[in-house]
Amino acid sequence: MWRVPNKLIQLHRQNTVVIFLYLAFTLIFTFPLFLHISTSSPMADGQGDQFQSMWMFWWFKTALFHLQTNPLYTTFVFYPHGTSLIYHMPIFLSLLALPFQYLLSSPANLIIAYNLILMFTFVLSGFGVYLLTKYLIKDPVTAFICGLLFAFSSYRLWHLNHLGLLSTEWIPFYILYLFRFVDEKLLKYALWVGVFFVFTFLSDLTCALFLSTFTSIYFLYLLVKSRKRLLDKKIIINSSIALFTVVIILSPFLYSLSSTQIDWPTQTKEQTTYSANLVGYFLPVSERSLWGSSFLPSQHDYLGIAGGELFLGYILLFFVMYTLIKRGKERIKFWFFSSLAFLLLSLGHTIYIYNHSYYFNWLPYNLLYTYVPFLRIGRTPYRFSLMVTLCLIIFSSYGLTRFFNSHYAKDRNLSDLKNFFRSFLVRKGMPLVVVVLICLEFIVVPTTLIQVEVPESYQKIKEMPEEFAILEMPASFFGNSLFANVYLFYQTVHGKKLVDGLLPRPSYHSRDFLKENILKEDMTLDGKLKDKLARNNIKYVIIHEFQRLEETINEDTTFLIIKEKPSDIKLFQVF
């Protein structure tokens, strides 16, 4: 009778323990989210962009199973023009959310789906880096710490309300199997590389851009350092098979991408505003630090993007410096130079140093953004900072494991009390100290949460059988983007089309109707406007008194509750 080898059993047990440890840290870093998992969601930047993800889950199910239409295009927002969703739709995440929508009632089903998938990204991001680092350095303790550094990095904790940008969990798995494929040249590893690229592509295009860029850097490195290895016949054949398989699987989406014009401007404010500030890599901001605001600058004191999203952490920076001094193997140089490449890309076309700016048109991002249209998917250069962090974590792992082993009295007489305590401190105590210091650097508790209660008037609109559209005021280009996102959440309950909308990359003409007809915030429903709204089947205009609501939700900055009173909502019937 065939028996499972003991080594395999031990490996599975070790992996199970590691996964549960990352889950425990996830619950700690996001506390008190799990206590409100069915009613609230994280409120990282005050804009409520998580409601866009929940809306995507809802629209994916509605389009496929109720309307039997293409989920990559919609007129349910930005009505009547509509917009393409090819740059927005997280298909893989939407598939994960489907069971929750069928098993649970609305709108709790979307909130629970969002929160559980969010936790899933933390656990798998950490576990993926753990497996990658363990493969490279064969040290599970160091690998666990590296996974912790990546899963709970500044970038990820800042984007708790951006589920797409949190979909970094497949990146380390992709890199792991890319390395295994190059090392062992087996087709199964090439196919796994393809699988994890597909998962990433269908979760978030920005993360797919990271993988494409990393692969280009890695192959360029191999071309320079080991051309024979890269041009090996097995590698060429197996990688071609895997690439062909990926192209076939993604062909409908690639066709949609190629046929959908990127019609936002090539030089936008975003490339300037959202470039990384060099100081941010080395200094946290008061909003994201337990050290408080006594001597740390605020995010708003910087030009560009500061330490809230970029800060590497002093533990990581210490071990980067230690590795630079004590480096041994040739291969680790790749990780350091890769981090420099991504650092240059994160600067965009302007180098920011605190509140000073220096424009250079020869910076890599500026050149690639101009001549490689696919790069425009990323929109904001600073997001490459995620890969800076990952590459430096892997680079520092070689120094970290050497640090833990440097004073380990493995060959000494452990009956000597001094040697015994030194060994225990380095191999047991030091990793624990490092973990505690990482937590102190990055944890900010309690996590700010937001709870939205859907007004009763939307339940009544839901019960109306006819199809029509709703105009919510103030429109997104007049009011706070938080409330424009709340409109999307309301729509998941009432199910009617919205004239307005809020998505990161809407089609250029999607807001034309609003721009042509809603010229000011305090508009009046005169006869001419009513006729135009009626001709476009816009039955209701709903005006929200958000000014009074803002005063209420700002009282407690750690738990926001949006609950509109009936007197704060004015509903006008057009026809």
User: Would residue 148 count as lying in a domain?
Assistant: no
The domain boundary, picked from 442, 464, 481, lies at 442
Report pLDDT for 260: 73
Residue 114, phi then psi, degrees to nearest 5: -60, -50
Which amino acid is located at 355 in the chain? Answer: N
User: Would residue 97 count as lying in a domain?
Assistant: no
- Give the separation between CA 74 and CA 186, rounded to whole angstroms: 42
User: Would residue 368 count as lying in a domain?
Assistant: yes
418 with 496, same domain: the answer is no
Give Cβ neighbours of residue 540 (< 8 Å, ≥ 6 apart).
Answer: 461, 468, 470, 471, 571, 572, 573, 574
- Give the separation between CA 180 and CA 161, rounded to whole angstroms: 34
The domain boundary, picked from 442, 474, 489, lies at 442
431 with 406, same domain: the answer is yes
Domain count of the fold of the chain: 2
290 with 312, same domain: the answer is yes
- Give the separation between CA 206 and CA 311, rounded to whole angstroms: 20
User: Would residue 503 count as lying in a domain?
Assistant: yes
393 with 429, same domain: the answer is yes
- Give the separation between CA 431 and CA 575, rounded to whole angstroms: 68
307 with 174, same domain: the answer is yes
Report pLDDT for 547: 65
Report pLDDT for 4: 53
Q: Do the strands 449-453 and 41-42 form a parallel or antiparallel pair, or are they unpaired?
A: antiparallel
467 with 410, same domain: the answer is no
Report pLDDT for 555: 52
User: Would residue 154 count as lying in a domain?
Assistant: no
Give Cβ neighbours of residue 176 (< 8 Å, ≥ 6 apart).
Answer: 128, 131, 132, 135
Task: Quote the tokens at residue 425.
Answer: 């401190």
Report pLDDT for 326: 77
Q: Do the strands 469-473 and 497-498 form a parallel or antiparallel pair, or are they unpaired?
A: parallel
389 with 246, same domain: the answer is yes
272 with 336, same domain: the answer is yes
What range does the domain containing 403 cover? 161-442
Report pLDDT for 357: 81
Report pLDDT for 402: 85
Is 5 within 8 Å of 420 (Cβ atoms)?
no
- Give the separation between CA 214 and CA 217, rounded to whole angstroms: 5
- Give the separation between CA 40 and CA 562, rounded to whole angstroms: 11
Is 78 within 8 Å of 505 (Cβ atoms)?
no
Closest C-alpha among 492, 505, 497, 485 to residue 546:
485
395 with 461, same domain: the answer is no
User: Would residue 38 count as lying in a domain?
Assistant: no
461 with 393, same domain: the answer is no
528 with 422, same domain: the answer is no
Stretches in the chain below the pLDDT threshold 50: 1, 409, 411-415, 551, 554
505 with 417, same domain: the answer is no
User: Would residue 149 count as lying in a domain?
Assistant: no
User: Would residue 517 count as lying in a domain?
Assistant: yes
Burial class (CB in 10 A: 0-12, 13-18, 19+), 210: buried
The domain boundary, picked from 422, 442, 462, lies at 442
